[in-house]
Amino acid sequence: MVKVLFVTPVPEEAKARFQSIPDADITFKEIQTVTEEDLKDVEVILGNLPLSLLNTCDTLKWIQLDSAGANTYSDLREEVILTNASGAYGEAISEHMLGCAFMVMKNLARYIEVQRNHDFTNLGGVNTLSISKVLSVGMGDIGSNFAKKMHALGAEVYGVRRSVHDTPDYVKKMYTMENMDEILPECDIVVLSLPETAETIHLFDEERLRKMKKGAILINVGRGTAIVTDALYKIMKEEYLSGACLDVTDPEPLPRNHPLWNTKHVYITPHISGRFNAQVTFDKVINIFYDNLMNYLQKKPLENIVNKKLGY
């Protein structure tokens, strides 16, 4: 019997589904209540238990995360298998990104301020997707879902990934981190859905931010560290970009007294584009948990294995 600790919160019907699995002794615990004693003889953990606790569990063989991001587990013991929930978040987060793009492109956020002033001012011209170029920096589940949606709506879409091995039919051309500056200055919308790695930290410093097209839109839903916060604040004070939509920040959470909160055309959400705010996301995560646990018990290959050195 494999001892499994489940720390992602689930409703009773989902618990029943897992409790019916033969050969698995499953305990459900609230993550904040887990102690070292709870980890005794545990072989599998489902959910994002802190690394400090994981490393006290000598019997642990596999941890399945409920997040796509896995960078905070890079120091997990080499022999412990790490899998993530990649594939669960693309639908919901790409829709959030789409909303951000239209909010800025069509001046919708600015018209809220116009309404508050009981004004009837026309803020002027807006762009359309049919003449827009979109750059998706990161072409995993999230970036690819966004690229598909933008292509379907008529935009000219470009992608950036670590290495170019194929070009999907919804992308005009693929670039790598090394040569993305060739296309960056042409793009009207630039979206970041990157994991945190040595290669992506501070990828968008002041120099690269200023390579963006003046008046472009920047959206970040990956990790806040992909952008140098002080550099973004500097260029946004100049209104260099028409909008910066940040669902992630560096640091995170952003301190309450940070000037970026009140910077014109900067729109900050508290890392909510993913999580379990959309029921479809939660359902997909639970299905990944179930399928992978069945694979583990049947000694089949696991899905979504994370390379700890790369962080994804």
Tell me: pLDDT of 134 over 90. Answer: yes
Confidence of residue 310 (pLDDT cuts 50, 70, 90): confident
CATH of 2-88+278-297, one of 3.40.50.720, 3.40.50.2300, 3.30.70.20, 3.30.930.10: 3.40.50.720
Higher pLDDT, 308 or 303: 303
Query: What mean pLDDT do residues 71-77 have?
Result: 92
Say yes or no: do domains 2-88+278-297 and 90-268 share a fold: yes
Residue 115: strand, helix, or coil: helix
Give tens-digit pLDDT for 149-206.
999 999 999 999 999 989 999 999 999 999 999 999 999 999 999 999 999 999 999 9
Tell me: pLDDT of 242 over 90. Answer: yes
Domain ranges of the chain: 2-88+278-297, 90-268
pLDDT at 282: 95
Domain over 90-268 is classified CATH 3.40.50.720: yes
d(CA 111, CA 129) in angstroms, rounded, equals 20
Q: How many Cβ atoms sit within 10 Å of the Cβ of residue 248?
A: 25
d(CA 224, CA 248) in angstroms, rounded, equals 5
Give percent of the chain above pLDDT 70. 100
Active site residues: 223, 252, 271
Closest to 192 in 3D by CA, of 235, 109, 249: 249
Q: H or E stretch including 190?
A: strand 189-192
Confidence of residue 119 (pLDDT cuts 50, 70, 90): very high
φ and ψ at residue 28, rounded to 5 degrees: -105, 125
d(CA 70, CA 286) in angstroms, rounded, equals 17
pLDDT at 18: 96
Tell me: pLDDT of 268 over 90. Answer: yes
Query: What mean pLDDT do residues 111-140 have?
Result: 97
pLDDT at 165: 86
Tell me: pLDDT of 312 over 90. Answer: no
Give tens-digit pLDDT for 89-112.
999 999 999 999 999 999 999 999
pLDDT at 183: 98
Across the beta sheet with 2-6, the strand order is: 24-28, 2-6, 44-46, 62-64, 81-83
Query: What mean pLDDT do residues 107-121 have?
Result: 96
pTM: 0.95
